[in-house]
Structure 1
């Protein structure tokens, strides 16, 4: 049960005075991002200001700088209302000892203005001053107060991120109400660590950021913001550590294979394993032989040979008498994994099948029956493999490709498909160390950093779109030489439909220029049409594949040697690197052409330069993190990815390691969180929506 002390923070925002259903709906879309639950007061309090307005400047009218926010003490002289049915503004003339000013109001109510700015009275007015023909003017002042109410005028006013339908005044007012309900909570942080860091209490930290006394209270490095960021990191790391503990407590099966299947696979491979693959297999094999469940992340750059490592891990489990499943995010990718593994499985005598959304109901029934009877050793498919209708005789390992769609909860739910199912998660997105800790702190990590022998580095060139005809001529010559190429169409932020139109148009242009050797693949095609386009390209019936970003992950055509990425400046670094990895998969030299629209912005130019300079995905990921922040790098809205609301890897990365160590230490001393600090930490887990972890405590 959630501690009752947290009830005020878990109340819906409609409990705050002045927030009706309409405003609550707008706040929910801003603070929660989906409509599955209404925004709570805690969501509002964790929405931190990004900047501030200083109303402390009081220079008098004559000394007011152009475009600056000032606070003036004015004597009201005259009201000038516009004629009836006129669109002209309502003007009020006022002065102080230094000069005179016009206050301008559009669509104004005369009775209201006469009551707040009565002629002959003095008022404090705050807003932005603009100068026209040596006359000062203030359009719609932010504040108008009497001298008696001067204390209600904020000197430092926080500025919050907004959304359509929500004004700064509305959110500031709501926040002032919200800070009043912050309850007194037990301290969950270690006292000596708090002293060393100079951290305020949780309540003081929230008050400091929502009622800043100076601009420095709002920067990411301030003690208050760092305190809240550390709270968020600790909640996350503690939740991941509890998942890991839960996995360990469930025990595991020691899976000692005899090596027979693995040696047959190795003999059938057309290449030698890299040192990185050998090292990763050693780590995985030790995990599988241990009496605890394996939970490991295999990070490999584009083309580093993760699939072979995954297959060898599955072979060890099959040798021990259990079944294996490999999951991919799309039908295309599942069928591709199947196609690349089938000859190796055949050589080793492993019974392998593929199941995807394309299969008929009859086909699915037959595969299900064979799985349940133990007549299939290895099944490849999409996440549909984990629907309740699919049953295994004895599932021993699940290999999950491209983890973005596979979060902590899914990692836990795998256990229902077999006894002590081992989990190997593979990703082709090289992830910086700080992000690995934040998203996969419950997993051991293996990294593949070297490429298979014989692969040549990809030459990367950037070319202005003005020279597109030269690029087409170059492609024509390459196609005549028997080469294959991709042409990736631009990403259009507004809509998938526009993406599609751009791809269709480019396809038609290229087909006119190069003839019937051009084919098209995009996300809106049926699975059959996509597969047909891919097969035509693979088998050489077409030579140039025009595509949207559907080819970003896992498309494997070893003899494709050129990729053209149109409007490369619109893509992120990691995405460009993924796309570039579609070529250079064979032994021939490959080229990546980045077509950009001049002139390039500073960040876009930096991005394209990094790609030209290096093929190292891990280096590129670190740069991407620096240029864009972690939100975009991994897509924090994807399931299982905790989007941090306060913590920022760039500013608070040093706290991540500390939080991980702290979480380990806490659970070593108090695994059930029953001590006074443990009880306080349960409050923390609920506050940052890590309640799944609290359920694990109760479950075991």
Structure 2
């Protein structure tokens, strides 16, 4: 890629005074580019005052308001004075109080803050005697020839910046404008090609930055933000697609050589659904090419992903290769292992199948490692134990990663690195992902969605219950006994193991004691499973539950994924307001895995937040995981949607919103693909190449798969 000089990389300390540079550093601004990307939070207009009714205590605010009155009051102690200024938005009022030891210290305030005058006030909202106020707020003094004065006359929007470290919005603006004045705009690399800009009516990047900070009207800053969102989307999609287009990930082409896959499909005790059939066709076509498959398989809970994973891994085995299935927990790894055993049949079709977890005995582990290292064709199922340094799988042709969001990107790719050929990658998730999230966070993967369910599955009736409703709670225990008496199994899930803190949320410890006192459950054996138990103890508890020896299982979210007990007909989630929608949907998916009617009861404690209550109501409304994913997207904030980088810092996306910008993301992906197909190494697109290099330097996959 071409090297480009970028003035946006210039440190701000070369453009402003040392004191100003320190102030900017407190805001996270260290380069010229940082300053340009420090976007206003909102825009005000002179004559359109800020609504004061929505302010809340503890909030850092910048408000545009009109002075109603200003009165100097001597303190009763005789020590000092205060100026009490009442400001208004035309409807509500707010008190601003300025303190001083001597009256003359407030003379400038008294001169400027005259009734009828309008100012920007900035400070932290506090409360005094039940009323909100600003204490010692900063306010903007406007000189007659200042940009603000000109804006007041012209009606131009006023940028309001996120104020931090005691630096008010107007001082931030002054610092940013001083940096803007010294930029050689002709030297700023243009990321978005001219034909793409023309097609989508985007601004040149230099113009976008200028209008972001100094708009003439509201259209200016809106178009600037749209252009900058487009720029981020194009950079991201290009960075994600680039390794695939340039052919950096070469794999062995895997084709039908022995009919092994067809034999297994014919021997299955069920017929593949249309969704399973289509998914397998797409995966088989991917693996038949030398270009590395990178596919995300989305399916709802219980839709039958495991059999598709098996077919993909068998395709590696019949080509003389090895395959691995990486799961985030021992419970899930063990469940996959048992499911694969059942699908392969008693004879296992001479396909070696290994389970490698931390609880495997030393002797068994040594034998498995020896066989894998020898390159013996077969399938290895495991947890993080599969990616330890002493594990060698030299002929790994297919890697299946289940519940990708539980792994870091580096962990996932460890099994694929340092090889002559790159294993084909199949990522599976039972947490359906909205399309915009899939394109942004999983943008390096092709996506297949299995939206149908195997025949014989029954919908799960879901109800939200308040723990304060004694009649309902008593009925829960009665219903649990009824399900058990009919041969069913009952899960009860808590978010906590013990009662060490002061939380009123139910724990495994407290519920275990409580259930012993419930008359309806007398004689019912209760199993226990949670993360603090040894894996073998959890395995015994799950086996006893499956066999019906302990038909009520009290557990944490260790049962969230990978537990398949067809006899389970009732799920009770205690403290359900503490769980996210995807977790609740996964937990609900532990029941309804047969033709027997099943029920899920979401029990919340007193006073759940409005958002938590909306989540629970969404669970009542939607049984389809894809519909729930869209509901979850609406309920989350942008930061929650994207998660955090593995380093703990926020996502690098500053203008692009995966909640709002679906059309931009879709169009940018198409544009990125067209650019790379015509210019795989971006030789004719130096600005875009430069931006992609910068992203890769930070950490190409800066979004944790969450």
TM-score (normalizing by structure 1) = 0.80
Which residue of the other structure, out of 668, 692, 699, is the alignment partner of 2:677? 668
1:98 matched residue in structure 2:
none
Give runs of aligned pairs for residues 183-198 of structure 1, distance below 5 A. Answer: 184=185, 185-198=188-201
Which residue of the other structure, out of 427, 430, 435, is the alignment partner of 1:428? 430
Deviation (angstroms), 1:653: 1.1
Deviation (angstroms), 1:636: 5.1
Structure 1 593/634 Cα, relative in aligned 2: closer, same or farther at 3 Å?
Answer: farther
Q: For the residues of structure 2 that align with 1:285 and 1:94, how far apart are their CA atoms?
A: 72
Contact 2:575–2:604, Cα closer than 8 Å, also in 1: yes
Q: Secondary structure at the match of 2:298?
A: strand
Contact 1:454–1:587, Cα closer than 8 Å, also in 2: yes
Q: For the residues of structure 2 that align with 1:137 and 1:70, how far apart are their CA atoms?
A: 13
**1:491-536, Cα deviation, whole Å (9 max, x unpaired):** 89xx999598744323332233235623343344443444344333
1:394 matched residue in structure 2:
395
**Runs of 5+ consecutive residues of structure 2 not aligned to the other structure:** 56-62, 88-93, 702-706
Deviation (angstroms), 1:424: 1.2
1:333 matched residue in structure 2:
332
Give runs of aligned pairs for residues 605-616 of structure 1, distance below 5 A. Answer: 606-616=614-624
Structure 1 173/330 Cα, relative in aligned 2: closer, same or farther at 3 Å?
Answer: farther
Contact 2:566–2:594, Cα closer than 8 Å, also in 1: yes
Contact 1:561–1:588, Cα closer than 8 Å, also in 2: yes
Contact 1:567–1:596, Cα closer than 8 Å, also in 2: yes
Q: Secondary structure at the match of 1:452?
A: coil
Q: For the residues of structure 2 that align with 1:634 and 1:593, how far apart are their CA atoms?
A: 29
Aligned length: 660
Structure 1 269/418 Cα, relative in aligned 2: closer, same or farther at 3 Å?
Answer: farther
2:465 matched residue in structure 1:
463
Deviation (angstroms), 1:57: 5.9
Q: Secondary structure at the match of 1:650?
A: coil
2:315 matched residue in structure 1:
316
Which residue of the other structure, out of 197, 202, 205, is the alignment partner of 2:205? 202
1:682 matched residue in structure 2:
689
Structure 1 567/120 Cα, relative in aligned 2: closer, same or farther at 3 Å?
Answer: closer
**1:255-289, Cα deviation, whole Å (9 max, x unpaired):** 22334433453355332221211221222222222
Structure 1 44/429 Cα, relative in aligned 2: closer, same or farther at 3 Å?
Answer: farther
2:354 matched residue in structure 1:
353
Q: For the residues of structure 2 that align with 1:121 and 1:625, how far apart are their CA atoms?
A: 45
**1:456-496, Cα deviation, whole Å (9 max, x unpaired):** 1212223333232222222233233332112223589xx99
Q: Secondary structure at the match of 2:418?
A: helix
1:586 counterpart = 2:577: no
Q: For the residues of structure 1 that align with 2:162 and 2:581, how far apart are their CA atoms?
A: 26
**1:156-205, Cα deviation, whole Å (9 max, x unpaired):** 55445577x66655866765566566653132323244245443322332
Give runs of aligned pairs for residues 340-379 of structure 1, distance below 5 A. Answer: 340-345=339-344, 346-359=347-360, 363-375=364-376, 377-379=378-380
Q: For the residues of structure 1 that align with 2:245 and 2:553, how far apart are their CA atoms?
A: 47
Q: Secondary structure at the match of 1:512?
A: coil
**1:295-339, Cα deviation, whole Å (9 max, x unpaired):** 222111111111111011111110111111111122221122112
Contact 2:191–2:205, Cα closer than 8 Å, also in 1: no
TM-score (normalizing by structure 2) = 0.80
2:559 matched residue in structure 1:
551
1:34 matched residue in structure 2:
none
Give runs of aligned pairs for residues 430-449 of structure 1, distance below 5 A. Answer: 430-449=432-451
Q: Secondary structure at the match of 1:374?
A: coil
Give runs of aligned pairs for residues 28-427 of structure 1, distance below 5 A. Answer: 42-43=33-34, 45-54=36-45, 56=47, 69-71=64-66, 80=74, 83=77, 90-91=82-83, 104-106=97-99, 108=100, 110=102, 113-114=105-106, 116-117=108-109, 126=119, 139-143=135-139, 145=141, 157-160=158-161, 168-169=168-169, 175=176, 179=180, 184=185, 185-212=188-215, 222-246=222-246, 248-266=247-265, 268-345=267-344, 346-359=347-360, 363-375=364-376, 377-406=378-407, 414-417=416-419, 419-427=421-429
Q: For the residues of structure 2 that align with 1:450 and 1:210, how far apart are their CA atoms?
A: 49
Which residue of the other structure, out of 657, 660, 682, is the alignment partner of 1:651? 660
Deviation (angstroms), 1:562: 0.8
Contact 1:457–1:590, Cα closer than 8 Å, also in 2: yes
Deviation (angstroms), 1:378: 1.0
**1:367-407, Cα deviation, whole Å (9 max, x unpaired):** 22221113461111124423432212311111111122456
Q: For the residues of structure 1 that align with 2:587 and 2:112, how far apart are their CA atoms?
A: 70
Q: Which moved more, 1:374-383 or 1:651-660?
A: 374-383
Q: Secondary structure at the match of 2:660?
A: helix
Structure 1 194/90 Cα, relative in aligned 2: closer, same or farther at 3 Å?
Answer: same
Contact 1:253–1:291, Cα closer than 8 Å, also in 2: yes
Contact 2:496–2:508, Cα closer than 8 Å, also in 1: no
1:508 matched residue in structure 2:
513
Q: Secondary structure at the match of 2:439?
A: helix
**Runs of 5+ consecutive residues of structure 1 not aligned to the other structure:** 32-38, 96-100, 695-700
Q: Which moved more, 1:351-360 or 1:401-410?
A: 401-410
Q: For the residues of structure 1 that align with 2:175 and 2:517, how far apart are their CA atoms?
A: 60
Q: For the residues of structure 2 that align with 1:606 and 1:119, how far apart are their CA atoms?
A: 51
Contact 2:531–2:558, Cα closer than 8 Å, also in 1: yes
Q: For the residues of structure 1 that align with 2:328 and 2:253, how far apart are their CA atoms?
A: 29
Contact 1:57–1:71, Cα closer than 8 Å, also in 2: no
1:35 matched residue in structure 2:
none
Contact 1:77–1:119, Cα closer than 8 Å, also in 2: no
Structure 1 102/321 Cα, relative in aligned 2: closer, same or farther at 3 Å?
Answer: closer
Q: Secondary structure at the match of 1:537?
A: helix
Structure 1 359/461 Cα, relative in aligned 2: closer, same or farther at 3 Å?
Answer: same
**1:104-162, Cα deviation, whole Å (9 max, x unpaired):** 224x45488257448799897735699x99xx998534315375686567865544557
